[in-house]
């Protein structure tokens, strides 16, 4: 059985979808949820699901990113994860940190990568007049939002869409896509998952 750690910063809805999917004949189990935000809503949800949690508060380290990343690595390594899933984790990790976890770290990003890496993805897609948007799960490499794509879900952008309405249409697809990719990945299958 593969051991999965999940990194969050916020409400943790993708974490709940991932953790809830790892049951029965699933090849993986959740072993730890780590948040860099002490009050993140996802922490209570993880605890309610019986998953151990940890907080590594980046603010406690000031501008010292190396020390923050060392503490994050220590918290992660204590749980001996085979796979680390970034799920709404909103800190940029250094290229060195990401490279060390390469091959065992996944991320979900709310755009059809390689389009719109970074922040404000929905606003940028609407502003550009795109006909569709979506979400991507990719392997994490040293390049931000840049590793091999393991799955995508596409949705139409509708007239009158706002960043909020588009995000609300995409989020349920994130909750389908990420568990589907993780199940394949944990079984050693990197064939991309394409939804719907
Ligand atoms: C999700 O939409 C995820 O794709 C996005 O943050 C949200 C987290 O929601 N991630 C990023 O923007 C990464 N840069 P959640 O905490 O409810 O899963």
pLDDT digits (tens, 9 = 90+) for 138-185: 999 999 999 999 999 999 999 999 999 999 999 999 999 999 999 999
Ligand 1 centroid distance, CA of 20 (Å) = 17
pLDDT digits (tens, 9 = 90+) for 119-139: 999 999 999 999 999 999 999
The one catalytic residue in 58, 109, 122, 175 is: 109
For 123, left (φ over 0), alpha (ψ -120 to 50), or beta? alpha
Tell which atom from ligand 1 comes closest to the C-alpha of 11: 16
User: pLDDT averaged over the chain?
Assistant: 98
Cα-based distances in Å from 164 to 112, 125, 167: 17, 12, 5
Told to judge if 109 belongs to the known catalytic residues of this protein, a careful annotator would answer yes
Among the listed residues 71, 114, 115, the one whose alpha carbon sits nearest the alpha carbon of residue 91: 71
Q: Give, using CA atoms, the residue closest to atom 8 of ligand 1.
A: 88
Please tell me the pTM assigned to this model: 0.98
Q: Is residue 88 within 6 Å of ligand 1 at its C-beta?
A: yes
Ligand 1 centroid distance, CA of 26 (Å) = 24
Q: What integer pLDDT is reported at residue 5 of this predicted model?
A: 98
Q: What integer pLDDT is reported at residue 37 of this predicted model?
A: 98
Instruction: State which H helix or E strand residue 173 sits in.
Output: helix 163-186
This complex has an ipTM of 0.99
Q: What integer pLDDT is reported at residue 98 of this predicted model?
A: 93
Average pLDDT over residues 32-44: 98
Tell which atom from ligand 1 comes closest to the C-alpha of 108: 4
């Amino acid at each position: 059985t593969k051991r999965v750690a999940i990194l969050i910063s916020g409400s943790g809805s993708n974490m709940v979808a991932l953790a809830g999917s790892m049951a029965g004949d699933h090849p993986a189990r959740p072993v730890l949820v780590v948040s860099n935000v002490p009050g993140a809503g996802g922490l209570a949800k993880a605890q309610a699901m019986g998953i151990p949690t940890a907080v590594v508060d980046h603010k406690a380290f000031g501008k010292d990113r190396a020390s923050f990343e060392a503490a994050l690595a220590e918290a992660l390594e204590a749980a001996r994860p085979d796979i680390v899933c970034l799920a709404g984790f909103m800190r940029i990790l250094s290229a060195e940190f990401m490279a060390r976890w390469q091959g065992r770290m996944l991320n979900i990003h709310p755009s059809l990568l390689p389009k719109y890496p970074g922040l404000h993805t929905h606003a940028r897609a609407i502003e550009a007049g795109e006909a569709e948007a979506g979400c991507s799960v990719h392997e994490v490499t040293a390049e931000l939002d840049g590793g091999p794509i393991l799955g995508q879900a596409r949705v139409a952008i509708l007239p009158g869409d706002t960043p909020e309405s588009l995000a609300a249409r995409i989020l349920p697809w994130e909750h389908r896509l990420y568990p589907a990719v993780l199940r394949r990945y944990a079984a050693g299958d990197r064939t991309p998952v394409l939804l719907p």
